[in-house]
């Protein structure tokens, strides 16, 4: 008799889902349903819950599009959420069950976005090993620039000089509870001018998310006198602080605004965290790197970790039959 049961997420699972995320070894606030659903109109949610003898033991945040199941495309990272007591063979069994379930449901392909290692409280490479067993196709690999705050590297000369310029220009750094000035004066104009793009989150959306996660989403602005000249929006989890948005006006290099801002965050505000994550400098699905941006991040002592993206056919669950000997 099959001891596992897989079911799709439904509205009545809201509290159950969130309670599991809060205790998962690899859970962050991005997997909370309030975060996942702020843009639910854009995605066909197909998140899955796995039960063993009626006890919830795993979650797969996901959406369905054009016959493919994706690690939720509205999230920066994904994977299979399990608690700290879950050992490798159980993860193995869960994933095999998920693939078989999807195959029977007519979902032929799974695109899996893995969780960068720094975001898990415990070792979390079970899926990476399973991708090897299943001959999954690695179709994208992003390079994240990360500072280990327990073993920091000295800032480069150029970053130190930027901080000196900021001091000379008497810049002031403040944490604020509103996003209007940064979004409307700095971020939106910059993205529009340089990339013909808009922020992933609209002003209304980031306000909503801040209301739901006030301790996790924080805004830091830089001012020259009364005028905002730069800022960053950070997402804070238990182990990691991530700069989600970084932007300054056209005088940012002359003023040293972004140098001073991030030196302050790294050395003062978040010095007791484990990691500071600048995110990627990648373009073209991980195939190219913005060299100038990478250089700037590494000037603070950031070094590289990777995030992998895999695609596999769900019918490959049959390849897991004889792994354990």
- Return the minimum-mean-pLDDT range out of 39-43, 182-186, 219-223, 263-267: 39-43
Q: Are residues 17 and 130 in the same domain?
A: yes
- 131 and 157 share one domain: no
- Statement: residue 1 has pLDDT above 70: no
Contacts of 235 (CB under 8 A, 6+ apart): 29, 30, 216, 217, 241, 242, 244
Distance CA 323, CA 325 (A): 6
Residues 118 and 213 in one domain: no
Query: Is the same domain home to 191 and 167?
Result: yes
Mean pLDDT on 302-318: 97
- Are 136 and 155 in a shared domain? no
Residues 9 and 136 in one domain: yes
Domain that holds residue 111: 4-140+308-320
Residues 160 and 266 placed together within one structural domain of the fold: yes
Q: What is the pLDDT of residues 156-206, one digit of tens each?
A: 999 999 999 999 999 999 999 999 999 999 999 999 988 888 999 999 999
Pairing of strands 275-280, 240-248: parallel
Query: What's the domain count of the chain?
Result: 2
Q: Are 176 and 211 found together in one domain?
A: yes
Task: State the Cα–Cα distance between residues 31 and 236, nearest whole angstrom.
Answer: 13
Asked if residue 127 and residue 38 are part of one domain, the reply reads yes
Q: Is the same domain home to 110 and 180?
A: no
Residue 90 is assigned to a structural domain of this protein: yes
In 77-216 the beta strands, taken as DSSP E runs, fall at 109-113, 137-148, 172-176
In a domain, 286, yes or no: no
In a domain, 174, yes or no: yes
Q: Residue 116 domain-assigned?
A: yes
pLDDT in tens, 52-88: 999 999 999 999 999 999 999 999 999 999 999 999 9
Question: What are the pLDDT digits (tens) for 117-149?
Answer: 999 999 999 999 999 999 999 999 999 999 999
């Amino acid at each position: 008799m099959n001891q596992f049961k897989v079911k799709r997420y439904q509205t009545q699972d809201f509290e159950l889902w969130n309670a599991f995320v809060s205790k998962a070894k690899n859970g962050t606030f991005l997997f909370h349903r309030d975060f996942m659903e702020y843009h639910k109109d854009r995605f066909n949610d197909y998140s899955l819950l796995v039960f063993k003898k009626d006890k919830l033991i795993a979650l797969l945040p996901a959406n369905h599009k054009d016959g493919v199941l994706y690690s939720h495309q509205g999230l920066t990272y994904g994977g299979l959420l399990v608690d700290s007591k879950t050992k490798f063979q159980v993860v193995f069994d869960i994933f095999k069950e998920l693939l078989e379930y999807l195959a029977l449901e007519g979902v032929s392909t799974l695109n899996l976005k893995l969780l960068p290692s720094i975001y898990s409280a415990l070792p979390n490479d079970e899926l990476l090993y399973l991708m090897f067993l299943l001959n999954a196709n690695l179709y994208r690999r992003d390079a994240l620039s990360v500072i280990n705050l327990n073993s920091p590297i000295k800032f480069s000369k150029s970053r130190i000089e930027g901080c000196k310029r900021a001091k000379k220009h008497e810049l002031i750094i403040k944490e604020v509870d509103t996003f209007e000035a940064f979004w409307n004066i700095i971020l939106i104009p910059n993205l529009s001018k340089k990339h013909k793009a808009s922020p992933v989150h609209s002003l209304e959306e980031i306000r909503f998310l801040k209301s739901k996660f006030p301790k996790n989403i924080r805004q830091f602005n830089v001012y020259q006198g009364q005028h905002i000249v730069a800022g960053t929006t950070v997402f804070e989890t238990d182990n990691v602080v991530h700069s989600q948005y970084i932007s300054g006006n056209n005088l940012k290099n002359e003023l040293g605004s972004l140098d001073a801002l991030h030196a302050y965050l790294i050395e003062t505000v978040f010095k007791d965290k484990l990691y500071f994550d600048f995110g990627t400098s990648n373009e073209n699905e991980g195939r190219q790197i913005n060299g100038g941006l990478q250089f700037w991040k590494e000037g603070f002592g950031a070094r590289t970790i990777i995030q992998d993206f895999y695609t596999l056919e769900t019918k490959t669950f049959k390849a897991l039959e004889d792994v354990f000997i």
